């Protein structure tokens, strides 16, 4: 699965993950995956890119469930 290239700054990804964490429908497990992505973005784009590849390869169905839940609340419009 090819991922879209990163087109934002690390700070923008941190903000996006922080917004995603406001989703009230996420389970604790789903929230922990989003937190891992946010923490990786805080370390920089390289770390974020590696982490998102790992998460999508190993937890892809769970992440897409998270995206669906967030979209249902009007979040993650660009995911």
Q: Could you list the pLDDT tens digit for every one of the 79 residues in the chain? A: 567 888 899 999 999 999 999 999 999 999 999 999 999 999 999 999 999 999 999 999 999 899 899 999 998 776 5
- Cβ neighbours of residue 6 under 8 Å, at least 6 residues apart? 13, 45, 48, 49
Question: DSSP alpha helices (H): ranges in 5-73?
Answer: 10-20, 28-43, 45-72
Contact indicator for 10, 42 with CB cutoff of 8 Å:
yes
Look at the pTM and tell me if it is higher than 0.85: yes
């Amino acid at each position: 699965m090819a991922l879209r290239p990163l087109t934002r700054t690390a700070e923008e990804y941190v903000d996006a993950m922080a917004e995603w964490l406001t989703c009230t429908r996420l389970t604790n497990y789903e929230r922990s995956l989003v937190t891992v992505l946010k923490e990786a973005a805080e370390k920089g784009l390289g770390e974020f890119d590696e982490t998102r590849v790992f998460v999508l390869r190993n937890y892809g169905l769970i992440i897409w469930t998270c995206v669906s839940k967030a979209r249902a609340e009007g979040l993650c419009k660009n995911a």
